[in-house]
Amino acid sequence: MHIEGSSRRRRSLVSLTPLIDVVFILLVFFMLATSFLDWRSIVVDVPADGGGEAGEPTAIVVRIGADGALELDGAFVRDTAALEQAVRAELAREPGRLLIVRPDDSVRLQRITQVVERVQAAGAMRMRLDRGD
Amino acid sequence: MRLPEAPRREPAENIIPLINIVFLLLIFFMLAGALTRPDVLDVRPPETQAGDPAELPDEGVILLAADGRLAFAGRELEPRALEREVADWLADGPERRLTLKADADVAADRLLDLLDLLRDAGADHLMMLTNPSER
């Protein structure tokens, strides 16, 4: 018995090359257009009208100096870790207090977020950014 | 002169594994990545270690570049125009929440100018976007 076809290995009529071209173009498109960035968010309150501690007499105030130095309620704090501990202690004594971060005008946002994430880690629920002076 | 005859042999049929791999890569990039519109301003958000995981929202994103330029809803705007646009956008839905994508190098006075503006536009708090730092 003679079986035809199985041994004949005919080349398929449809050429694969255009398909590969299109698939490559799609691949390059998706490689360039997609982003794998991971996003995080920090919730901040907008500054109060007038810029003071009006209506918030119990607020904890964190100042960031132009050189990045930190002050908590007027007292110098060595670094962000010490700030986190101090804020945690303040909040343990009296929970729910508003925290106001007052950066100097020239402080970069990177430094502000470093401070903000530490005070949020310390448990500050409400946090507001405000002017330094 | 006689050139050696170019070999007219067809390439061997080992193209199928290549297509398989390319298809796999294509599917990976389609599913794993998020297609995002490029921003009108070049903004590199600050890096943080903490923060809540967030999705990049489709609308309500304010861009603040390091040089102080502002953009909202895909257009670069002057501060006054931005305030109007943001106020309109906030007025359209009560549950709307602004997202701020600010450059890590922006100075505090520019950021606070913007926050003052947003307060005047009717916002009371907003989400600031950051990227997790690579460690």
Rounded CA separation B108/B97 (Å): 22
Rounded CA separation B23/B105 (Å): 40
Q: Which 3 state secondary structure label does DSSP give A102?
A: strand
Owning domain of residue B93 = 47-132
Return the pLDDT at B24: 92
Rounded CA separation A118/A97 (Å): 16
H and E: helices and strands count for chain B: 3, 8
Return the pLDDT at A7: 46
Q: Which chain A residue lies closest to B111 (C-alpha atoms)?
A: A109
Nearest to A69 by CA among A103, A45, A109, A46: A103
- List of domains in chain A: 60-129 (3.30.420.270)
Kindly state the helix (H) or strand (E) to which residue B34 belongs, with its residue range. strand B34-35
Asked if residue B36 is part of any domain, the answer here is no
Model confidence at B73: pLDDT above 70:
yes
Asked if residue B84 is part of any domain, the answer here is yes
Which chain B residues are within 8 Å of A19, Cβ to Cβ?
19
Mean of all residue pLDDT scores within chain A: 80
First to last CA, chain A: 100
Asked if residue B19 is part of any domain, the answer here is no
Q: Which 3 state secondary structure label does DSSP give A71?
A: strand
Asked if residue B42 is part of any domain, the answer here is no
Q: Cβ–Cβ of A39/B127 closer than 8 Å? A: no
Nearest to A19 by CA among B94, B20, B53: B20
Asked if residue B87 is part of any domain, the answer here is yes
Split at pLDDT 50, 70, 90, the class of B120 is confident
Integer CA distances (angstroms), B65 to A105, B17, B102, B111, in order: 16, 46, 6, 10
B35 → closest Cβ in A33, A47, A114? A33
Q: What is the average per-residue pLDDT within B97-111?
A: 89
Distance in Å, alpha carbon of B2 to nearest chain A alpha carbon: 32
Rounded CA separation A104/A129 (Å): 11
Q: Which chain B residue lies closest to A50 (C-alpha atoms)?
A: B116
Interface of B with A in 91-110 (CB under 8 A): 99, 102-109
Which chain B residues are within 8 Å of A39, Cβ to Cβ?
53-56, 129-131
What does DSSP say about strands B47-48 and A34-35: parallel, antiparallel, or unpaired? unpaired
**E strands in A31-114:** 34-35, 39-45, 60-64, 70-72, 75-77, 99-103
CATH of the domain at B100: 3.30.420.270
Return the pLDDT at A25: 92
B35 → closest Cβ in A20, A34, A46? A34
Among A94-108, B3-17, B23-37, where is mean pLDDT lowest?
Answer: B3-17
CB-CB contact of A133 with B108 (8 Å):
no
Q: Which residues contact B39 (CB under 8 A, 6 or more apart)?
A: B63, B71, B101
* Number of structural domains chain B divides into: 1
Percent of chain B's residues with pLDDT above 70: 90
Q: Any chain B CB within 8 A of the CB of A113?
A: yes
Complex ipTM value: 0.73
CB-CB contact of A71 with A77 (8 Å):
yes
Which amino acid would we find at residue B61? V
Distance in Å, alpha carbon of A87 to nearest chain B alpha carbon: 17
Asked if residue B25 is part of any domain, the answer here is no
Q: Give the pLDDT confidence of A41-99 residue by residue, as tens digits.
A: 888 888 877 655 555 667 888 888 888 888 888 888 888 888 888 888 888 888 778 88
Percent of chain A's residues with pLDDT above 90: 1
What does DSSP say about strands B98-102 and B125-132: parallel, antiparallel, or unpaired? parallel
Asked if residue B6 is part of any domain, the answer here is no
Rounded CA separation A77/A80 (Å): 8
Asked if residue B81 is part of any domain, the answer here is yes
Rounded CA separation A78/A58 (Å): 23
